[in-house]
Structure 1
Amino acid sequence: MPSGATPPFAPAPRDGPPGVERPFVSFAEPATYGDDTARVRPFRGVRARPRPLTAAACVVLGLGLIGGAVTGSWLTGGDTDEPGSRGAFAAAGELWHSVPVDRLFPPTVRGDGAGPGGSDRAWTRIAVAPDTGCKDAFDPLLRQALAPVGCLRLLRATYVDATRSHVTTVGLLFTKADAAAMTSLKARFRKEGLDRRTDLMPRPYAAKGTAAEDFGKAQRASWTESVLTDAPVVVYAVSGFADGRAVATPQPAAEAMKTDSTAAVAQAGLGHEARGLADRVERSLRKTVTSATEKPS
């Protein structure tokens, strides 16, 4: 396959679910009165100022406004440190080795309104995987789908819900891509529905001695994948039953969260588990990026 070419994908299985710009200052056209030699009649007792002095004052004022605008832009840092800018994008790509794991994957996560019907959820972290590359971390087709953005580092953690009946692995894939490449990948995922294909599900992290030790590929029940465009990161989560039961028909979270779905995965709320935890880890990531790029007051 030629370098840079987009890898093909096998058809989906039949049984699977379907800048800040600088301020612009302009000056109005000078008023004219038809007779350039005319002079304004002064009030009694008040001496009129010569026109050259007035014109000079206007020039000084205009230069002051322009200089103030430029200085203001410099003091605010231009367009490099605003959220979503190149500065924030680059800062996000460094978080995997510069931020404590407890900030990326908090020991406990609250999911107010994240459950079915707006019910509350809470998750407790039970395992953190060593940060690694992406070799053997994804199924082959998902690895091909993510190849255009590359793999810098992969961070993963597994959580259990408050009832200890569901386990969910959430992952942060830090890529080597720029904003354009991330935008392109996001568009492809959306257009081709790659985040809904059962043969493109992420793998769980099963840690021995925890409630997730039997959380293997066959136990994957629901999942979600989000390609960010303001950070070189792909956020994903995959959920399953804590008792290790195999799931014959997994559902993407978007499908499992539908109120009219009668599938066992949906009825168990596993779509909400995956989406709810992934969303909150993503929010935490964004807050960390904002904090890292804020200028001291």
Structure 2
Amino acid sequence: MAALPVDGIVETTARLRPVPDQARPLTSSHPPASSHPLTSSRPIITFAQPDTRGADTARPRLLGALTGPRTAAAALCLVLGIGLIGGAVTGSWLIGEGPGDGAQGAYTVAGSLWHDVPVDQLFPPTVHGPGAGPGGADRTWTRVAVAPDSGCKDAFDPLLRKALAPAGCLRLLRATYTDATRSEVTTVGLLFTRADSAAMSALAGRFKKEGLGRRPDLMPRPYAAEGTVAADFGDTQRASWTISVRTDVPVVVYAVSGFADGRIVTEPQPAEDAVKTGATTAPAQAGLGNEARGLADRIEAALRKTVTAATEKPS
């Protein structure tokens, strides 16, 4: 393919920023971890009553007098020990290292990636896809626009928004890319959810069982930016798409592709079908299924690498 010309690509890049306090999820049964502060309690120690027996029991009183300080010392050690253990456990929870639960650490880290990681790391300016095109052809995608980080209110069609609602919406990040010929455009999105591991697994199971990722009425919406090759990339231009509900991190990765000339696509096709050998639909023949799946796979791989690096402990 011809080299991508430098002229003519205008990128709209928005700075990702912290979520305002008033930002609320679309719907969620899982409030953010920060809304449940960690609490701990200390054991209540009650010391025995003093010995008040008569003079004929002097020896037992002597023993009691010796035992009292020992009891107090032992109790103090118990309190301090419990405090140290509790502090260690609380510290491990705060950094996402519950006992034997490395996955929870990944969830904790991934939940803050949307504002802690540079946009160029989540959505590189150039993405290379060796063998990602039809017939194993190489692909190269250039970023033309980054959407402002946002909630999910207007980012999805109603049915897809409803399907994703059980996971909640913490933040949505999107970027649009074009291929080397500037004839095709693809929007890739990272939906950071409020869900825990169980909820993400349930959502992934539902998408797989009910085939929600293959339904045309559940296609993700594209991000079109004025002044770029993707300016006319609207809902009716959607041609192929893919949706991946992750279970190792609280993120839904998706991509949707179309033609850059603004032509309307009447029969969109999921990328899973469009990349099959012998597919004859317009999206398949144009390689738009490869565009969506290839770009989504590489953005997802970069996300996993970032999470892994952030959760690794120094040796």
Output the TM-score relative to the length of structure 1.
Answer: 0.73
Q: Distance in 1 between matches of 2:101 and 2:139?
A: 29
**Structure 1 residues 84 and 107: CA distance shift in structure 2, 3 A:** farther
Structure 2 matches for 1:115-264, cutoff 5 A? Answer: 115-264=133-282
**Which structure 1 segments of 5+ residues have no match?**
6-73
**Structure 1 residues 214 and 83: CA distance shift in structure 2, 3 A:** farther
- The CA RMSD over aligned residues, in Å, is 2.1
**Structure 1 residues 235 and 78: CA distance shift in structure 2, 3 A:** closer
Q: Distance in 2 between matches of 1:160 and 1:100?
A: 21
Give the match's secondary structure for 2:178: strand
Output the amino acid matched with 1:219: Q
Q: Distance in 2 between matches of 1:247 and 1:4?
A: 34
Q: Distance in 2 between matches of 1:257 and 1:196?
A: 13
Give the match's secondary structure for 1:110: strand
- Tell me the equivalent position of 2:299: 281
Q: Distance in 1 between matches of 2:244 and 2:229?
A: 26
Structure 1 consecutive aligned stretches of length 4 or more whose deviation exceeds 2 Å: 77-84
Tell me if the contact between 1:112 and 1:120 (Cα under 8 Å) persists in the aligned partners.
Answer: yes
Give the match's secondary structure for 2:152: coil
- 1:60-119 CA deviation, whole Å, 9 max, x = no partner? xxxxxxxxxxxxxx9xx9965999611012111110010000000000000011111111
Of 260, 277, 290, the match for 2:308: 290
Of 235, 254, 272, the match for 2:290: 272
Report the count of equivalent residues.
225
Q: Distance in 2 between matches of 1:82 and 1:203?
A: 39
**Which structure 2 segments of 5+ residues have no match?**
1-26, 30-91
Report how far residue 260 of structure 1 moved: 1.1
Tell me if the contact between 2:28 and 2:169 (Cα under 8 Å) persists in the aligned partners.
Answer: no
Structure 2 matches for 1:50-65, cutoff 5 A? Answer: none
Q: Distance in 2 between matches of 1:192 and 1:107?
A: 35
**Structure 1 residues 84 and 278: CA distance shift in structure 2, 3 A:** farther
- Tell me the equivalent position of 1:52: none
Structure 2 matches for 1:10-21, cutoff 5 A? Answer: none
How many percent identity over aligned positions? Answer: 73
1:102 aligns to 2:123 (yes or no):
no
Output the amino acid matched with 2:243: E
Give the match's secondary structure for 1:239: strand
Tell me if the contact between 2:28 and 2:168 (Cα under 8 Å) persists in the aligned partners.
Answer: no
- 1:112-165 CA deviation, whole Å, 9 max, x = no partner? 111111111000000000000011110000000000000000000000001111
Q: Distance in 2 between matches of 1:185 and 1:265?
A: 28
Output the amino acid matched with 2:233: F
Give the match's secondary structure for 1:229: coil
Output the amino acid matched with 1:207: A
Structure 2 matches for 1:29-44, cutoff 5 A? Answer: none
Report how far residue 188 of structure 1 moved: 0.3
Tell me if the contact between 2:96 and 2:106 (Cα under 8 Å) persists in the aligned partners.
Answer: no
Give the match's secondary structure for 1:230: coil
Tell me if the contact between 1:81 and 1:87 (Cα under 8 Å) persists in the aligned partners.
Answer: no
Q: Distance in 1 between matches of 2:292 and 2:221?
A: 13
- Tell me the equivalent position of 1:18: none
Report how far residue 4 of structure 1 moved: 8.0
Report how far residue 296 of structure 1 moved: 2.2
Which is further off, 287-296 or 221-230? 287-296
Tell me if the contact between 1:84 and 1:230 (Cα under 8 Å) persists in the aligned partners.
Answer: no
Q: Distance in 1 between matches of 2:272 and 2:194?
A: 28
Give the match's secondary structure for 2:279: coil
Q: Distance in 1 between matches of 2:243 and 2:287?
A: 17
Tell me if the contact between 1:81 and 1:294 (Cα under 8 Å) persists in the aligned partners.
Answer: no
Tell me if the contact between 2:28 and 2:167 (Cα under 8 Å) persists in the aligned partners.
Answer: no
